Structure 1
Amino acid sequence: MNTAFSFETPGAMLVEWGGAARLGALMQDWFATRHLLVVTDAFLHRTGVLDAALTSLRASGFAVTVFDAVVADPPEHVVQDCVAQGRAAGADIVLGLGGGSSMDVAKLAAVLLRSGQGLGDLYGIDRVRGARLPLVQVPTTAGTGSEATNIAILTTGAQTKMGIVARQLYADRVLLDAQLTTGLPREQTAATGIDAMVHAIEAYTGRLRKNPLSDMMAREALRLMGAHLLTACTDGSNRPAREAMLIGSNLAGQAFSNSPVAAVHALAYPLGGHYYLPHGLTNALMLGPVLRFNMSAAAPHYAELADVVLGPSGRDVAARAETFVEAMQDLMNRSGAPLRLRDVDIPQADLPMLAREAMQQSRLLVNNPVQMTEADALRLYSEAY
């Protein structure tokens, strides 16, 4: 690790069970602007999950425009439609209220409603110029950690994804209200929870920007989620488990925003792009093979994480590292998520194509503890099959 490092994170965070029901009063204190664009998805809007928050906002004097056309792995036109609706309404503040996709779209809408840049100008690292509108994020899932990151991922073609990374994408305020997550079904709880755990593991084992603050957050994220994932899956109304998962997801988001993810995500992205699988599920499918592939370089870090998740054992590094990998695989298996690529109907004949596409994720692979070739990627897909 270099002795010099930087660490960035959202402006302020509030953790409060039921806080969404008084979101209007909170935002009234936080901001002077009142023309609010709420970015969410149709399911949350239709089923009433957002009703308490929207009622509170309107009662506090906000003119609320709801954009609810966000979909998983959002394509570019969703962002453009969102910006058009916000511009027509004269929006001067943006609220992301939903899962990672909604929060990613909210980030970009806040930029594009203020900036003269086009969406295509933003792809890559630090290409956003100038300021954005005020931005608040309220997650309804415990997984992506998008409320804590400076990253937005969009689908840019039929099966391709691209990222936008810039400090302007950090929110001004974040509300963590775990009550909003109690309605998540088991499969989604498992997939999003595993996604967050992968964020923590990859942040802790990253090659380039691992640092003491990201390490601290990754360790605590894994401790919380390792202890509470299965309870959250089996008892979705369990308040301590839901709060632990949401805080753990946020800590993991802060960790990987500063110490980026690596090969698990690089191999997961083509699976999501081609077969429209949830991002957390694709991470879960690739986690075991990639952990073992990285063992030669990451074993000391795995051993440290074993002590966090399982408690100190006094065993040597190699044994503790192996125990950690086995424990993560067991947790994935017990969560109820599908176990292998064949279980989600991925054709074996597609594996070479997936390996080729994974190698295009150079932004992620450069951070992997072990250099990966296309042949390595194909072998890992085959192991996961």
Structure 2
Amino acid sequence: MSTSIALPRFLRIGAGAVEELGSVVAQLAITRPVLVTDAFLTGRGHTSRLVEILSKEGIDAAVFDKTVPDPTTDSLAAGLETIRSHDADAVIGFGGGSPMDTAKALAVLSASGGEMGSYKAPRVYTGPALPIIAVPTTAGSGSEATQFSVITDSATDEKMLCPGQSFLPIATIIDFELTMSMPPRLTADTGVDALTHAIEAYVSRRRNGFSDGLALAAMRTIASHLRRAYRDGDDRDAREAMMLASMQAGMAFSNSSVALVHGMSRPIGGHFHVAHGLSNAMLLPAVTRFSLEAAVGRYADCARAMRIVADTSSDDVAAAALADELEQLCHDVHVPTPRSYGIAEADWNSRLDLMAEQAIASGSPGNNPRVPTAEEIVEIYDAIYSGANT
């Protein structure tokens, strides 16, 4: 049986690669893109820098910098108006996962119309869309290399996974120097997010040989560099390694799938406005312990790739060591529990059944080595609230 693989057509990777954005866009015969970003990057002068780079190639770029963390259907309206008024022929997602997800959604909606909810899984959309160029400024989401966009329904707080090759960037610029100013909290959350992508891609029921290689490589790199980047944001080697690993992990899960962590993470983000990477980090150790028995060998491979255990260690020992290490990593980078993050217990408990229902409806838990019931998902949510092990 064959495996279908989808990747960006162009990749520019390395220090200073952002300076080549104009030539990449010109090569694609794009002349009127909209640069989709956020107010923070505009305030720091980064947006004007990219507009200038594009202008030098004769490219007339408009700017939409009103993206919001964990973008919502309501937040897309102004972006669509910018694209229409500029008569745009492409979108450039510049920033973390939220600006890139916003750019992807705008690319599809501006070309095909409709409501964002009509593009959510299980539908896989491959229809018309504006070309997407991605320029990430964080090392974690992997959105620069994936065929997914995640948008929250403003009416229901449902975090919708919207898949399909129409959401895949045609070109990606990977310049680790853009991540050098990431604060420790963001470094940790996006780094654990990337690790989650790699682990879930490797243990997923939809895994394949192509995604396996990328996932294992990303795990090894993240294990040896995330703590370094967290402790010292000026560590260029660690920043560069994390940026490459994030892209590899993104390519891995985009061509495999995510699983239970992501299925449970999206409702946390949708209901309590917890950043995606952080909600993944809250869940990763507990979900891994829940899942171990169904894929001991696979989780053992992860531990060996991360050099947690010797290659000669038994699968049982290695898999258990992986779960221990994930708990220690989250402790070392100060991942909060939902309680310590500030979510009231009554609010948390009142939404458990709905969150479990939404997690299952996303389809991601069905890719997990151990497919949970709704009751088991509620038990995991209960366990992570105050930090208990599962």
Q: TM-score surpassing 0.5?
A: yes
Aligned positions of 1:141-156 closer than 5 A: 141-156=138-153
Task: Give the C-alpha shift of residue 126 in structure 1.
Answer: 4.5
Distance, in Å, in 2 between the alignment partners of 1:315 and 1:127 is 41
Contact 1:351 1:378 in 2 (8 A): no
Counterpart check, 1:199 vs 2:197: yes
By how many angstroms is 1:345 displaced?
Answer: 2.0
Closer/same/farther in 2, CA of residues 288 and 132 from structure 1, 3 Å limit: same
Query: CA–CA distance in 1 between the matches of 2:94 and 2:226?
Result: 23
Q: Is the 8 A contact 2:159 2:269 kept in 1?
A: no
Corresponding residue to 1:214 among 182, 205, 211: 211
Question: Residue 246 of structure 1 aligns to which amino acid in structure 2?
Answer: M
Matched, 1:111 2:121: no
Instruction: Report deviation, 1:36.
Output: 1.5
| Deviation (angstroms), 1:52 | 2.6
**1:315–1:355 Cα change, 3 Å:** farther
Is the 1:232–1:241 Cα contact (8 Å) retained in structure 2? yes
Query: Which residue matches 2:316?
Result: 318
Residue number among 326, 329, 334 corresponding to 2:327 in the alignment: 329
1:66 shift after superposition: 0.4
- Distance change >3 Å, CA 116–CA 266, structure 1 → 2: closer
1:103-182 matched pairs, under 5 angstroms: 103-128=100-125, 130-156=127-153, 157-182=155-180
Q: Which runs of 5+ in 1 are unaligned?
A: none
* Distance change (3 Å), C-alpha of 1:120 and 1:308: closer
| Aligned-pair CA distance for 1:358 | 2.4
Q: Which of 79, 99, 102 in structure 1 is aligned with 2:96?
A: 99
Other structure's SS at 1:113 match:
helix
- Count of matched residue pairs: 380
Q: CA RMSD in A?
A: 1.7
The answer to whether the Cα contact below 8 Å between 1:194 and 1:283 also exists between their aligned partners in 2 is yes
* Structure-2 residue corresponding to 1:345: 342
Aligned equivalents of 1:345 and 1:329: distance in 2? 20
- The one-letter amino acid paired with 1:202 is E
What are the ranges of 5 or more consecutive residues in structure 2 without an aligned counterpart?
none
- Please say if 1:379 is aligned against 2:376: no
Residue identity (%): 36
Name 2:186's counterpart in structure 1: 188
Once residues 84 and 267 of structure 1 are traced to their aligned partners in structure 2, the CA distance between those partners, rounded to angstroms, is: 33
Aligned to 2:62: 65
Contact 2:35 2:93 in 1 (8 A): yes
**How far did residue 382 of structure 1 move?**
2.2
Partner residue in 2 for 1:25 = 23
* Residue type of the alignment partner of 2:81: A
Tell me how far apart the structure 1 counterparts of residues 378 and 125 of structure 2 sit (CA, whole Å): 35
1:143 shift after superposition: 0.8
Contact between 2:125 and 2:164, CA under 8 Å: does it hold in 1?
yes
Cα deviations across residues 266-318 of structure 1 (Å, max 9, x unaligned)?
22122212221111111111111111100111211111111110153422110
Contact kept, 8 Å, 2:267 with 2:358, in 1: the verdict is no
Q: What SS class does the counterpart of residue 58 from structure 2 fall into?
A: coil
Give the C-alpha shift of residue 163 in structure 1: 1.8
The one-letter code of the counterpart of 1:370 is R
Choose the corresponding residue for 1:56, options 53, 71, 82. 53
**Distance change >3 Å, CA 129–CA 255, structure 1 → 2:** closer
CA distance in structure 2 between the aligned counterparts of 1:116 and 1:380, rounded to whole angstroms? 38
TM-score (norm 1): 0.94
Q: Which residue number in structure 1 is paired with residue 35 of structure 2?
A: 38
- Post-superposition CA distance 1:222-242 (Å, at most 9, x none): 111111001111111211111
- Following the alignment from structure 2 to structure 1, what is the Cα–Cα distance between the partners of residues 188 and 113? 40
Show CA shifts across 1:168-224 (max 9, x none).
1111111100100001100000001101111111111112x1100111111011111
Map 1:223-242 to 2 at 5 A: 223-242=220-239
Distance 2:248 2:194 in 1: 9
Q: For the residues of structure 2 that align with 1:373 and 1:138, how far apart are their CA atoms? A: 38
SS at match of 2:82: helix
Describe the shift of the 1:81–1:118 C-alpha distance in structure 2 as closer, same or farther (beyond 3 A): same
In 2, distance between residues paired with 1:172 and 1:104?
A: 14
- The superposition leaves residues 342-375 of structure 1 with CA deviations (integer Å, 9 ceiling, x where unpaired) of 2112233323622432232231111111121122
